[in-house]
Amino acid sequence: MDAIEVLKTRRSVRAYRGEPVPRKIIEDVVDCGRLAATAINIQPWEFVVVTDPEALRSIAKTTDYGKFIAYAPVFVVFLCEDTKYYLEDGSAATENILLAARAHGLGSCWVAGDKKPYASQICRLVGAPQGYKLVSLIPIGYPAESLEKPKRPLSDVLHWDKY
C-alpha cells in the first residue's frame, strides 16, 4: 500500500482476530511513532507495549469507551512527559502508530487517555514515573471487522483563500 492509500483507508478497528502480532512488526509500528513530528524535537514519549493477558484486562477495564482493548493481542500505553506541547506531540505520534499499523495490514483504534479520569490509574498500573501523562491507548491486531465510516466530503471542508 502506498502512503496516500494508507492515509485514506485507515479506519478505527475494534475487533481483532486471535493471532498474535509478530514482535518485529510491533517494533516497526512503535518506531513510526518514535519518528513523529515533535515541538523543538523534545520527543517526550515513552511506549509501553502490553501483551500479558492479565494486564490487558486490568488496564482495559479501567476505561469507559475502551473496554474492547482487552481482546486485542497487544496494546500500546502511550505516555508523554508533561511538557508544553505534550498533547500535540503525543497526538502526532499516536496518528503515526495508527497509520503504520494500517500499512502492516493491522487494525487499531485511538482510545482516549488524556483528560480521562482513569489516566492516572493506568499510569500507576504500568509503573510510569511521576510527571508522565497518558495520551492514548492503542490496541493493535489483525482486523476482524471492516467498517466504512461516513466522512465529510472534501468539497465541504476545503476552502481556497477564504473560509
Residues in contact with ligand FMN by CB under 6 A are 11-12, 14, 65-66, 109-112, 149
Nearer to ligand FMN, 24 or 117 (CB): 117
CB of 156 to ligand FMN, least distance (A): 16
CB of 60 to ligand FMN, least distance (A): 11
DSSP 160: S
In single-letter form, the type of residue at position 159 comes to H
Nearer to ligand FMN, 83 or 91 (CB): 91
Nearer to ligand FMN, 152 or 159 (CB): 152
DSSP strand pairing (74-81 vs 45-50): antiparallel
Beta strands in the chain (DSSP E): 45-50, 74-81, 107-108, 111-112, 132-141
